Amino acid sequence: MTLRLGELLIEKRIITPRELELALKEQQKTKKLLGEVLIGMGFVTERRMLQILAEQQGIPFLELKNVSIDDKAVQAVPAKFIWHYKIMPVNITDNVLTIAVSNPLDAWPVDDLEAHSGLRVEKVLAVSADIMEAARKYYGVGADTIERLLSNQAEYGIEKPEEKNDKVEDLEKMSADVSVIRLVNQILQQAINDRATDIHIEIFRKELSLRYRIDGILYDTSVPDAIKHLYLPIVSRIKIMSSLDIVERRIPQDGRAKVGIGDKEYELRVSVMPALYGENIVIRILPTTMLFDIANLGMSQKELAVLEQLLERPHGIIFVTGPTGSGKTTTLYSFLSRLNTRQRKIVTIEDPVEYELKGVTQTQVNPNINLTFSVVLRSMLRHDPDIMMVGEVRDYETADITIQTALTGHLVFSTLHTNDAVSGVTRLVDIGIEPYLIASSVEAFIAQRLVRLICNNCKEEYRLPEEICQKFGMPEGKDGGAAQTGYRGKGCKVCNNTGYMNRTGIYEILQVDEEIKKMILQKTSSDAMKHKAVALGMRTLKQDGWEKVLAGLTTPEEVLRVVQ
């Protein structure tokens, strides 16, 4: 059969006689099937190989991602069979169960399923990656582990989430069980594979919700309904990982853990908050190593030139503004990385410390022991810093000390929560800072947002509608109508059918030059100040977003999602 397969592949000009010869020699060493060897050596793709095997053995080949899976078939096959044999049920017709397999020569799945279900089992061939994708979609993350755990529920005294459970000993025992550890690891692994930055585990009256935040958007993750019965052991396992109190369920708790996935390490920031039906958990996933470069922020060449000039200032404050999750911390870390040399002393105070920066003294606030921004700021000045970063200016005391620090010859970076750059002035005045102090200490306000990038794998060109152009202040195109060309993602397997992949920033830089200083001192309204700044050359968030739309980086809908 081996020679017949090889000859068939040569006959169809899929491989050459020389490639077959090399594959047969490799097969003698590894004792693997010839098809596996040919795929492993890159002489043929798995899809093409399965199509040839289907033709040779008279078994249908299925593009599984284009097939509608029968729910009855899914219910007929336990998850343990799916993950053990790497198979996927497709449908049940007239007492015949059809399953998709990637190895047509493996008879065990058919024999075991026929014995378990009492149905006659027939095989179709499908690509292994498509089989696993369908299994995750229809069975959910960790389905086999959940089945195994629930089969042992009597041993651990597992109860429904809504029921009162104070069996601490059982929860400790359960959370240390290899299967629970594996289940939590599977949830983490899937999140990292999906490029998620956050995992949201939420308990409601009759269900447990698992959502991943990918490129700033929350997506539901498929999990078996039965996972709700494992809610308490899952919470306990996560608490143990992050050194939290598993007995305390009445107050919020914050912890951290470090995990290794493959050859990479990730830091987990765990936040537990009591809700109506139990404790909700959010896990922030952070790589332990990150490269921060201002060239990767998404700024135009003009904005980068302005930023370079600002970073060369010997003293003053640069504020980065925007809502939570707009990438302010990454921007600040890029500034510090750009300036981090052995000739400079850099000190930061953060809440919390997101990433470790080599050569930078980083301090994390701790309100429980009165280690606040203002307290640490006073001590920082005695460490002879050249550059300082204050994670966030929240109150008058912190703002006042930060400004005094800048006035005494230090370059300071910090953040404010405002909607645009000009609102940074208003925010400082609201806190209680005098306008003359703002004018004399602040060098610039940089507002930013994060927008999703169009997936390059499924990007397509289209004509932007006139109403979209009007929303960006571009009512007419080249031909008197909406003749602007835009791009969008159709949705594909690579981007999980979202049409987007990764994110970049859009920016608005307000330089506090002499004209703006006069307006600050005169307490001019923010609207008038913004009009003046635009007249002086400031590009707004919406304008920067529109340029990225025309450049084919993002879509108008995405820019309008994050910009007023």
- In degrees to the nearest 10, what's the CA dihedral of 7, 10, 11, 14? 130
Instruction: Measure Cα distances from 485 to 148, 300, 489 in Å.
Output: 54, 20, 14
Bridge partners, 388 (sequence order): 347, 412
Kindly report each contact of residues 511-520 with a partner whose C-beta sits within 8 Å and lies 24 or more positions away, as own/partner: 511/306, 511/310, 511/443, 511/444, 511/538, 512/438, 512/439, 512/442, 512/443, 512/444, 512/445, 517/439, 517/440, 520/425, 520/435, 520/438, 520/439
The structure tokens 């932007």 sit at 464
CA 320 to chain centre: 22
Per-residue pLDDT of the chain (564 residues; tens, 9 = 90+): 444 677 777 877 888 888 888 888 888 888 788 878 888 888 888 888 888 888 888 889 988 888 888 888 888 888 888 878 888 999 998 889 999 998 888 888 888 888 888 889 999 999 988 888 888 888 887 777 777 777 665 444 445 444 444 555 555 666 666 788 888 988 999 999 889 999 999 999 888 999 999 999 999 988 888 888 889 889 999 999 999 998 888 999 999 998 887 778 899 999 999 999 999 999 999 887 777 899 999 999 999 999 999 999 999 999 999 998 899 999 999 999 999 999 999 999 988 888 888 899 999 988 888 888 888 888 888 888 999 999 899 889 899 999 999 998 899 999 999 999 999 999 999 999 999 999 999 999 999 999 999 999 999 999 988 888 888 876 554 444 445 889 999 988 888 889 999 999 999 999 999 999 999 999 999 999 999 999 999 999 999 999 999 999 999 999 999 997
- Answer for the pair 239, 248: CB distance below 8 angstroms, yes or no: no
Residues near 511 by Cβ (< 8 Å), separated by ≥ 6?
A: 306, 310, 443, 444, 538
- DSSP sequence for 55-122: HHHT--B--GGGSPPPHHHHHHS-HHHHHHHT-EEEEEETTEEEEEES-TT--HHHHHHHHHH-SEEE
Instruction: Strands of 249-303 (E only): list them.
Output: 253-261, 264-275, 278-287
- Residue 548 C-alpha from the chain's centroid: 21
Contact 14, 48 (CB under 8 A): yes
Q: Which helix (H) or strand (E) holds 503?
A: strand 500-511
Q: Which of 540, 542, 522 is nearest to 531 (CA)?
A: 540
Q: Does residue 340 contact residue 362 with C-beta atoms inside 8 Å?
A: no
State the chain's maximal CA–CA distance in angstroms: 89
- DSSP, collapsed to helix, strand or coil, labels residue 278 as strand
Phi and psi at residue 32, to the nearest 5°: -85, 170
Taking the alpha carbons of 118, 123, 129, 131 in that order, is the dihedral positive or negative?
A: negative
Instruction: Name which of 115, 118, 76 is nearest 99 in CA terms.
Output: 76
Predicted TM-score of the model (pTM): 0.77
Per-residue pLDDT, 480: 46
Q: Enter the tokens of residue 250.
A: 């009445």
- How many angstroms separate the CA atoms of 7 and 1, rounded? 10
Q: What is the pLDDT of residue 211?
A: 95
Q: Are 414 and 393 in contact (CB under 8 A)?
A: yes
Residue 199 gets the label, from left (phi > 0), alpha (psi -120 to 50) or beta, of beta
Q: 462 near 488, Cβ under 8 Å? A: yes
Nearest alpha-carbon partner for 306 in 530, 504, 508: 508
What distance in Å separates the CA atoms of residue 329 and residue 331, rounded to the nearest whole number? 5
Q: How far apart are CA 513 and CA 442, in angstroms?
A: 10
Residues 6 or more apart in contact with residue 409 via CB below 8 angstroms: 314, 315
29 CB-near residues (< 8 Å, 6+ apart): none
Name the strand (E) or helix (H) holding 347: strand 346-350
